[in-house]
Structure 1
């Protein structure tokens, strides 16, 4: 019997959950609902899509989350990384200038207003 079948949610503390939810709605286009969260429904969005959600602990002394001092970083899938990053810059968001491209896809980063580093990921074609 498989006990864990995927990630059911990401939960974290915020100083001002309502304002932070509005930032995510405005700048990342997330459908933050009245109850304060978002439900991503993979199959409803695209029944033919192949996708994964990764769960991966990092060593406690990693610098990968820097400049954030948070103990977590969330990776969000995007369809057009360069387009999203350009839009975030236009909107005055704190976007990292670095973009990584590899066989795993394209990666970029932005800081939310509470100092959490977010990773934006454009999967390789077909994923």
Structure 2
């Protein structure tokens, strides 16, 4: 079974997400969307080639239970099978799975307490 097939996104906390986003826009050329982040496309415009970049408020609990100010999102082909395999391997897998128009999302904690987001893009 394939596990991770790419990076789906990079997310980190900021004291002032709007101001920091503006800095990235003005100085590094990020094309910010209305939701405050950017999407980078490589090798076309399909979901498998997109990488999101987003800032979260400093008090966001989205990365909890991790206390780190960042979270990496990895693309996977079969989220449910991977989560089952990770559980069998003794990993700390979140019981919640989010299924939305953006795809399926699941989470696991790495051994150093970093929350890792796993994303299966929606099928075309």
**Both proteins in one fold, TM over 0.5:** yes
Aligned with 2:54: secondary structure? coil
State TM-score, norm by structure 1.
Answer: 0.62
8 Å CA contact retained: 2:39, 2:50: no
Cα distance in 1 for residues equivalent to 2:99 and 2:29: 34
Aligned length: 89
Shift of 1:114: 0.3
Return the TM-score normalized by structure 2: 0.64
SS of equivalent to 2:112: coil
* Inter-CA distance 81–3: structure 2 relative to 1 (3 Å threshold): same
Assess, with a 3 A threshold, how the Cα gap between structure 1 residues 58 and 48 changes in structure 2: closer, same or farther. closer
1:63 maps to 61
RMSD over equivalenced CA pairs, Å: 2.4
User: What is residue 84 of structure 2 aligned with on the other side?
Assistant: 86
Higher relative contact order (CA 8 A, sep 6+): 2
Q: Structure 1: which 5+ runs fail to align?
A: 9-41
Q: CA deviation at 1:48?
A: 9.1
- Contact 2:65–2:115 (CA under 8 A) maintained in structure 1: yes
Among residues 67, 70, 94, which one is paired with 1:72 in the alignment?
70
C-alpha displacement of 1:112: 0.2
